[in-house]
Amino acid sequence: MIMKKKIKTENKLQTYAYYISLSCFFMAILNIIHTIYVIKIEFAAASFIIPTFAGLLFGSIFAQIKILSSQLSDMAFTDSLTHIYNRLHFANFLTTQVDKTKRYGGTFSIIFFDLDNFKEVNDNYGHLAGDHILEQVTKLVSAANRSADIFARYGGEEFIILTPETDLDGALVHAERLRRGIEIFEFKTVGHITSSFGVAEFNADKDSVDDILSRADTALYMAKELGRNRVEKA
Residues serving a catalytic function are 157
Residues in contact with 122: Cβ distance below 8 Å, sequence separation at least 6, in sequence order: 129, 130
Alpha-carbon span 206 to 213, nearest angstrom: 13
Give the chain's count of helices (H) and strands (E).
7, 5
- C-alpha to C-alpha distances, 173 to 100, 107, 180, nearest whole angstrom: 24, 16, 11
Q: Are 169 and 163 in contact (CB under 8 A)?
A: no
Length of the chain: 234
Burial annotation 107-140 (CB, 10 A radius, 16+ → b, else e): bbbbbbbbbbebeebbeebeeeebebbbebbbee
d(CA 200, CA 98): 13
Contact in structure between 175 and 231 (CB atoms under 8 Å): yes
**φ/ψ of residue 226, rounded to 5:** -90, 10
